[in-house]
Structure 1
Amino acid sequence: MSVTFMTSNPKALLAKFKKAIDEKDVATWSYDGDGDFTHDTDQWRSKAWMRPELLSDRLNFSILAPKDGGMTKTVYGIYHGRLIECFLSHFDDAFVSGAATAKVSGKDSI
């Protein structure tokens, strides 16, 4: 786990995130056909991907390095921080807490 949001309805939280992106309410994230998310700004686009995982009481995101490899601490920090910032700003009514791991763990792939 890289980033986790504790919620009673992880499926609905993920759907809200996708809908906000689709409707351009969230302009700084995008997702691909696999359902992975990237921070969609000129500086950070495709530097990493966040892969969602639905569990009964949480929505987890694991971080993935781009196919050409490599990830810096800065990219790791930016992606974690910006994802939590986005969820706090837009979906605070849909989860009770959000957290990030300081180091690679779980299903992260860098």
Structure 2
Amino acid sequence: MAIIIKTQRPQELINSLNRAINRRAILTWVVDDMGDYTISREQWQFLAWMRPFILDDRIIFGIIQSRKFPMTKELYGVYHGRFVATLLSHFDSDIIDINVTPLLTEYDVVDNN
């Protein structure tokens, strides 16, 4: 699964998202030193991460599996759904288009075993 966002200024959108998280205007996500996002709530924290890739006028967020926990469809759904909700709630005017793929992409890091 991937979240694909079309935007005029992809790096500025990432910077705005990081500022909002670091200033605690967004409480549901934390961003780590690598620029990856995990849910801040204990139930879901560190079970996966969303990693941004900037391509021209797009940001593609792929999911990164934890080394300790298996990836499940529920985990896919929760991380993608909550991340999309956060983006639309805070940055709707910066987004031209947003899509979510139903299956894994080359931007995801998931062990299928």
**Pair in the same fold by TM > 0.5:** yes
Is the CA contact 2:60–2:107 (under 8 Å) kept in the aligned structure 1? no
Q: Which residue of 2 aligns with 1:46?
A: 46
5+ residue gaps, structure 1, are: none
Whichever residue aligns with residue 26 of structure 2, its letter is V
Considering only aligned residues, what root-mean-square deviation do their CA atoms show, in Å? 1.1
TM-score norm. by structure 1 comes to 0.95
Residues in 2 aligned to 1:43 and 1:84: alpha-carbon distance in whole angstroms:
19
Overall identity of the aligned pairs, in %: 36
TM-score norm. by structure 2 comes to 0.93
5+ residue gaps, structure 2, are: none
Q: Which residue of 2 aligns with 1:108?
A: 108
The Cα shift of 1:43 comes to: 1.2
Whichever residue aligns with residue 65 of structure 1, its letter is Q
Residues in 1 aligned to 2:53 and 2:105: alpha-carbon distance in whole angstroms:
14
Residues in 1 aligned to 2:105 and 2:15: alpha-carbon distance in whole angstroms:
25
Residues in 2 aligned to 1:61 and 1:88: alpha-carbon distance in whole angstroms:
14
Structure 1 runs, 4 residues or longer, greater than 6 Å off: none
Residues in 1 aligned to 2:97 and 2:85: alpha-carbon distance in whole angstroms:
12
